[in-house]
Structure 1
Amino acid sequence: MVTPGNETKTKPSWRRYVDGQQEWESWTDKIFAQDTSHKCPTYVNKTPPCQGSCPSGEDIRGWLAIVRQQEKPPAGVSWEEYAFQRASDANPFPALMGRVCPAPCQVGCNRNELEDFVGINAVEQFLGDTAIANGYAFAPAPALSGKRVAIIGGGPAGLAGAYQLRRLGHACTIFEANEGLGGMFRYGIPGYRVPRDTLDAEIQRILDLGEIEVRFKTKVGLDVAVSDLDQEFDAVLWTIGCQSGRGLPVPGWAGTPNCVSGVAFLKAFNEGRMKVTAERVVCVGGGDTSIDVVSVARRLGHSTKTGPGALPEAVVRDGYVAHDSALAAAAEGAHVTLTSLFTREAMTASEHEVHDATYEGVTILDGVMPLEVLLGADGRATGLKVADCRMTDGRPVQVEGTERVLPADLIVSAIGQGGDLTGLEALDNGRGFINADKLYQVPNRPGHFVAGDIVRPHLLTTAIGAAWVAADSIDAYLRHAEQRRRPKVDVHHFNLLEKLIEADLAPTPFKVQDQGDLRGTSDGSYAIHNYEDRSGAEVIGQDELFLAHFNYHPRHLRQEEVPSAEAVLGHFKERVIGLTATEAIDEAKRCMSCGMCFECDNCVIFCPQGAVYRVDKGSRTTGRYVATDYAKCIGCHICADVCPTGYIKMGLGE
């Protein structure tokens, strides 16, 4: 019998065995013969796929365990602050990233195999907002090393780099070409997605670490020479981002005044200079930037006033011109169209962002390629000629006979970004970017490091993660230490030894002169028993979990205030409404804690020999909840079979 479609969304029917395994197996003989295998349980920490999929490398499983109340904070620290500290160890912007990150962690979540991913972004936003509301600060920075690093660019990568470097003891000076810090957070994403008070609070928390100087409206390469940096600073971190948008590679684009890039369009809006847009806007893209462009255009509307000062391109192309506020008051709705080479399913923009844009009145034409910008007698664009297309070997192929013209008063290209290396030509790799090795060092330039979009345009979280690696590399360079080899799974891992120390359960010192050359122990207090940390090398897949343990648990969806097409004009309120504490806790309980014990007691309950037992309460902590009496263990592997998280492996012994 086929399960109805709606029932699969509410009552998952995961089965332990596949079709064809209908024969009942008697385990009795196997259980009492397995002692000949000499394999007993060991406890293996692996990286969960959410964390392995996170470009900034957050210990997602760790802070979800704290939110769900399973991992306990130290005395005197609330669970909210403890979870914030764990989350911000890798990413100092939880409130921002909880709102705008496209969440590759959720795509990787093993719970997708059961029903629906854990709402990681929603819980992260809750932690970030709670931290701001309660005034949580980062742990005090260590004493200064005497070294100072120049950071060129105050966007996500630059700020994350300053955060990580200051925590390593190094002072920093940020050179920022604009009047404010934040980069794409401030100038590339609308305020209704990134509230400016939230942005300012998370930036200020980094600056509050101290010894992070900021020099605004200073462009290195023009206002300051690179050679001067080498004289003044001990190292340089290039995080200049990609603030130059790519134009459409079609006839009629170049030099046409009302053809602008998506980056410039959004910067003019976010600086508060552009108050209205054109009556008919066509944006070519398909990624998150293009969605922001069309959503902003629908909110701004157009002005019926004529004259050069009312044209949106006059504001976009000139960094000093601004619209009169009276234009916004008289604005009328704009007709906005988004075209994409790819089908809607293949567009890189987040699915819910595409849905919201459509609800707000944007027309989306997918599987369409631009052919030519049509010009009027005055040299301005009057329309964009397009045609249907198919993607073949990654390239669009025109479908003959489908050509048509989309009337347009403003055409926006949001097909990618590049760096502005004016004055920095020596760093240009010939493609408008800066080369980097695996440790984010600039090749053949000792003391110069690079991170963020200027290496390869990607996600905000990618820039933040690269800045962490670059900061580690800079620290090694400044200490004249050998650059350490990065782990295969290069993220922030749970460290059992650090947890034991935090809980006052640190192993006692081992003195070979007193205890002899012992190669193994099951009871010595100087060792962490039957535990192996493979998190730096392995990501645990769903096939290692006992999925039948988990019941259906619907995801807590954040509420959104998305305006309709009729109400979108002038609507600049924040769209996402965060979870409550109760909702955040319950959402965190949906985490399956892949690769780490979450204290379910299955192994204790099902062990036929009573060999698996709970660790004494006084010695218990995360990762040390159960242990094995190897004198009783017969190697039956039932504990491993019923472990929901895949933490138990039959690996100890011959």
Structure 2
Amino acid sequence: MLDSLQHLPSAAGSSSELAAHFTDLAPPLTARQAAVEAARCLYCYDAPCMNACPTDIDVAGFIRNIHEQNIDGAAYGILKANIFGGSCSRVCPTEILCEDACVRNNPAEREPVRIGLLQRYAIDHAHFNGHPFQRAPSTGKVVAVVGAGPAGLSCAHRLAMLGHDVVVYEAREKAGGLNEYGIARYKLPGDFAQAEVDFLLAIGGIEIAYGRKLGVNLSLAELHARYDAVFLGIGLGASRALGLTGEDAPGLMAAIDYIAALRQASDLASLPVPRRAIVIGAGNTAIDMAVQIKRLGAAEVTLVYRRGMESMSATGHEIEIAKANQVQIRTWAAPLEVLLDDTAKVAGMRFEQTRIEDGRLVRTGGYLEIAADAVFKAIGQGMSEEGLQEPLARELSREGERIWIDERFRTALPGIYAGGDCVAPGQDLTVQAVQHGKLAALSIHNDIQSTSEAAWPT
């Protein structure tokens, strides 16, 4: 996976020393801190924080449970709405969702209730006797889910709760999707992502088939014929290209590939680390990449974006993390040329300076060169077309490169549903993918039950 960087030296320091740089980004609340924070909640009757939560968690309700020391009740309420409540409490951008909507978030009080940390406290301190949710009586129906990421597993769990059996097909060797392979290691440290998957699967009725990839050794037509319904949670697995000469040179690679290798590495000291790095992009993935390579020992890390700081899709909180880790941010510079050394390896990049003119981004003719041993592109992911080339898959309607769905997550093909990053609407957030999977499961349940009832003789 990191072949492009094998000419670079390994990270300096022992694996244990490096691991110390990837502990929890935000320390958890103590019991006393959680009690004090929960007491700040006003339990608003119209709960704007709940309205801002993509998964409709009863925020005021679970905080009241914490205040009343009913931790299991708080966790149950969270998980009922969002089975990935643990990871979402760590990676969800609460600063632009529930906490932004909190009524205490005003100039007089200066900060909202720390909802994300309270959610984490509830999940981390719950002690259930077995799985908190029970399966409904078996319906005899079996549903296929393609992709074991947050959308697919959320869908599978809800279907299992409703009494259906589910077979999840996953291309990689582990389940979890971006939680396992794509989130900064300091946000979901240790084996938290896998522990959450194990917890989810404990409901029963869910089988995962690993190493099965749509378009390679898995056919949509076969799934459509074999199962009562199919849910596609295939995400956006293809890294977009810069479209520049030299893009395949050693030293230039997709940020998501390095992040995946970092998350899976048992020995951080074995990872290749450049002395100087460039990260191209403006989203949270770009920030994750820049901060992590800095923590691994890169002396200089420069994040470059073609527009201004105000246009960056990364949240203000993420940008502050980058600054705190001494990541340099250069704006108004568009990639122009990959600079190579005498051995055809990356030596830096040339950028053309940009500005807004009449509402459009234009190039100014001014140039900027930044020396680097490695360049990481984090300019977004696109749909991998490999799995959508068979005749049946080509019948899926598209909006741009994403799969079209109706308001009930049904695609243009009867019996096939989709959700998460691969569909047109949304913000590409983990929490939203979880909601898509949950709502799609309810839609699938209603549709296949209605079909069964219609076919039942009177």
Percent identical pairs in the alignment equals: 31
The letter of the residue matching 1:57 is D
SS in 2 for 1:442: coil
Would you say the 8 A contact 2:144–2:231 is kept in 1?
yes
**How far apart are the structure 2 equivalents of 1:465 and 1:394?**
35
Aligned: 1:284 with 2:252: no
Aligned-partner Cα distance in 2 for 1:55–1:430: 22
Q: Which residue of 2 aligns with 1:418?
A: 382
CA distance in 1, matches of 2:103, 2:311: 22
Q: Give 2:50's aligned amino acid.
A: Q
Q: CA deviation at 1:431?
A: 4.1
Q: Pick closer, same or farther for the CA change 1:394–1:276 going to 2, 3 Å.
A: farther
Equivalent residue in structure 1 for 2:114, among 119, 128, 132: 119
Question: Following TM superposition, by how much is the alpha carbon of 1:399 offset from its aligned partner in structure 2, in angstroms?
Answer: 4.0
Rg larger for? 1
Q: Report how far residue 62 of structure 1 moved.
A: 2.0
SS of structure 2 residue aligned to 1:126: helix
1:333-412 alignment runs, 5 A limit: 333-391=298-356, 395-401=360-366, 403-412=367-376
Structure 2 match to 1:145:
139
Letter in 2 for 1:459: L
Distance, in Å, in 1 between the alignment partners of 2:359 and 2:380 is: 16
1:135 Cα deviation after fit: 6.5
Map of 2:216 onto structure 1 = 222
CA distance in 1 between counterparts of 2:339 and 2:225 reads 52
Conserved? CA contact 2:237–2:381, under 8 Å: yes
- The 1:466–1:84 alpha-carbon spacing in structure 2 relative to 1, beyond 3 Å, is same
1:527-538 mapped onto 2 (5 Å cutoff): none
Who is 2:447 aligned against?
A: 477
Map 1:449-528 to 2 at 5 A. 449-456=417-424, 458-480=428-450
Give the CA deviation at 1:221: 2.2
In structure 2, the CA distance between the partners of 1:349 and 1:172, relative to structure 1 (3 Å rule), is: same
- Match of residue 295 from structure 2: 299
Tell me the residue number matched to 2:4: none
- Which of 270, 274, 279 is residue 263 of structure 2 equivalent to? 270
Q: Which amino acid aligns with 1:272?
A: A
Deviation at 1:368, TM superposition (A): 3.0
Q: 2:403 aligns to what?
A: 434
C-alpha change, 1:248 and 1:217, in structure 2 (3 Å) is same
Letter in 2 for 1:432: E
Specify whether residues 379 and 432 from structure 1 end up closer, same or farther in structure 2 by C-alpha distance, changes over 3 A only: farther
Shift of 1:54: 1.6
Contact 2:239 2:381 in 1 (8 A): yes
The alpha carbon displacement at 1:334 in A equals: 3.5
8 Å contact kept, 1:188–1:267: yes
* Distance of 1:367 and 1:277 partners within structure 2: 27
Is contact 1:96–1:128 with CA below 8 Å preserved after alignment? no
Deviation (angstroms), 1:68:
2.6
Q: How does 1:17-416 map to 2 (within 5 A)?
A: 47-69=46-68, 79-103=70-94, 104-113=97-106, 114-115=108-109, 116-131=111-126, 137-249=131-243, 251-272=244-265, 275-301=271-297, 333-391=298-356, 395-401=360-366, 403-416=367-380
Q: How has the CA–CA distance of structure 1 residues 136 and 290 changed in structure 2, closer, same or farther, with 3 Å as cutoff?
A: farther
Deviation of the 1:66 alpha carbon: 2.0
Matched residue type, 1:410: A
Alpha carbons 2:224, 2:416 under 8 Å: kept? no
- Any idea what SS the aligned residue of 1:112 has? coil
User: Does the CA contact (< 8 Å) of 2:184 and 2:288 recur in 1?
Assistant: yes
Q: Which amino acid aligns with 1:99?
A: R
Residues 393/130 of structure 1: CA separation in 2 closer, same or farther (3 Å cut): farther
Task: Compute the RMSD of aligned alpha carbons.
Answer: 2.4
How many angstroms apart in 2 are the aligned matches of 1:129 and 1:122?
A: 10
Is the 1:179–1:217 contact (alpha carbons within 8 Å) kept by the matching residues of 2? Answer: yes
Q: How many residues align?
A: 395
Q: Supply the distance in 2 between the matched residues of 1:118 and 1:94 (Cα, whole angstroms).
A: 17
1:56–1:463 contact (8 Å) kept in structure 2? no
For residues 164 and 46 of structure 1, the distance between their equivalents in structure 2, rounded to whole angstroms, comes to: 28
1:419 to partner: Cα distance: 2.0
Q: CA, structure 1 residues 93+135, in 2 after alignment: closer, same or farther (shift >3 Å)? A: farther
The answer to whether the 8 A contact 1:369-1:396 is kept is no
Q: Secondary structure at the match of 2:81?
A: coil
Distance in 2 between residues matched to 1:211 and 1:349, nearest whole Å: 38
SS in 1 for 2:411: coil
Whether contact under 8 Å (2:286, 2:378) holds in the other structure is yes
CA distance in 1, matches of 2:212, 2:257: 19
CA pair 225-370 structure 1, distance change in 2 beyond 3 A: same
Give the distance between the partners of 1:185 and 1:349, measured in 2 at CA. Answer: 18
Cα distance between partner residues in 1 of 2:357 and 2:255: 26
Match runs of 1:439-450 below 5 Å: 439-443=408-412, 445-450=413-418
Q: Secondary structure at the match of 2:403?
A: coil
TM-score, with structure 2 as normaliser: 0.80
CA distance in 1, matches of 2:65, 2:305: 42
Q: Residues 225 and 397 (structure 1 numbering): CA distance in 2 closer, same or farther, change over 3 Å?
A: same
Question: Equivalents in 1 of 2:48, 2:405: separation in Å?
Answer: 26
User: Deviation at 1:212?
Assistant: 0.2
Q: 2-side partners of 1:289 and 1:91: how far apart?
A: 23
Determine helix, strand or coil for the equivalent of 1:269.
Answer: helix
Q: CA deviation at 1:394?
A: 6.8
Kindly state the Cα deviation for residue 421 of structure 1 after the two structures are TM-superposed.
Answer: 2.8
The Cα offsets for residues 230-259 of structure 1, whole Å up to 9 and x where unpaired, read as: 23210000001112211224x325433432
Give, as a single letter, the amino acid of the residue that structure 2 aligns with 1:467.
Answer: G
The one of the two structures with greater contact order (alpha-carbon pairs below 8 A, sep at least 6) is 1
Is the 8 Å Cα contact of residues 214 and 386 (structure 2) preserved in structure 1? no
CA distance in 1, matches of 2:85, 2:363: 43
Shift of 1:134: 6.0
Distance in 2 (alpha carbons) for counterparts of 1:181 and 1:345: 35
Counting only pairs closer than 5 Å after superposition, residues 520-559 of structure 1 correspond to structure 2 as none
Post-superposition Cα deviations, 1:137-181, rounded to whole Å, max 9, x if no partner, equal 322111111111100000011111111111111111110101111
The structure-2 alpha-carbon separation of the partners of 1:479 and 1:238, relative to structure 1 and needing over 3 Å to count, comes to same
Query: Displacement of 1:358 after TM fit?
Result: 2.1
Say which structure is richer in helix: 2
2:445 partner letter: D
CA distance 1:368–1:106, shift in 2 (3 Å): farther
Relative to the length of structure 1, the TM-score reads: 0.57
CA distance in 2, matches of 1:217, 1:118: 43
CA–CA distance in 1 between the matches of 2:184 and 2:272?
14
Cα displacement (A) at 1:229: 0.9
Partners of 1:135 and 1:272 in 2: CA distance: 33
